[in-house]
Amino acid sequence: MAETPPRTKLTRVARGKRPKMFDHWPDDVFMSMLTAVTTELMVMRDRMDTIERIAAAKGLILKDEIDRFVFDDAARAEREAARKALGDRIFYLVLQQAERNKMPKRKG
């Protein structure tokens, strides 16, 4: 698929009050983070599983290669961007609160 930069950023914030479930707001944040971490862990497990199966089908033993692997700058940048995206998902609620704190009050 053809890339069409720059990409339009879509909002992650749903208008409407977010209810407080626990007595201490940070507990709500921890639950949000834990949910996101769980999701990412499941995604990562799926991806590793896919890699292992593809490699095995091709007769590759990946373990030694992984330990010896040296990153070039491009690979390092790509990995850094992926790590940042992962953090955005896991720290979603903290980041959202930061966004909300920056926004002027809406009517309704």
Partner 1 sequence: MKNQLHQHGMTPDLNHDEAAREEAVRAMRFHIYSQVSQGTRGYFSNVVAPEFEKANGRPLTDRQEVRAVMEARPYVQLHLSLQRSVQEVLWNTVVETVERQLPELNARARACARGLGSLTLDETLEMPRYVANVDIHCMPGGYGYDGGVPDSVAAGAIYDRGITMYQRGAEGNLGLSVIHYLRENFPSFRPAKILDMGCTVGMSTLRYCEAFPDAEVHAIDVAAPCLRYGHARAESLGYPVHFSQQNAERTTFADDSFDLVVSTILAHETSTAAWHNILKESRRVLKPGGIMVHADLPQFSDIDVYSQFLFGNETRYNNEPFWSTFRAMDLKAAMEQAGFAPDQCFLDLATMVDREMGFRNTKVTTAARTRSGQAAPGFGWGVQVGIK
Chain residues that interact with partner 1, rule: CB under 8 A: 1-2, 4, 7-16, 18-19, 21-22, 27-28, 31-32, 34-36, 38-40, 42-43, 46-47, 50, 89, 92-93, 107-108
Q: How many CA atoms does the CB half-sphere of 17 hold within 13 Å?
A: 5
Report the amino acid identity of residue 69: F
CB of 44 to partner 1, least distance (A): 8
CB of 28 to partner 1, least distance (A): 6
**Rounded distance, CA 104 to CA 72, Å?**
44
CB of 104 to partner 1, least distance (A): 15
**Rounded distance, CA 91 to CA 89, Å?**
6
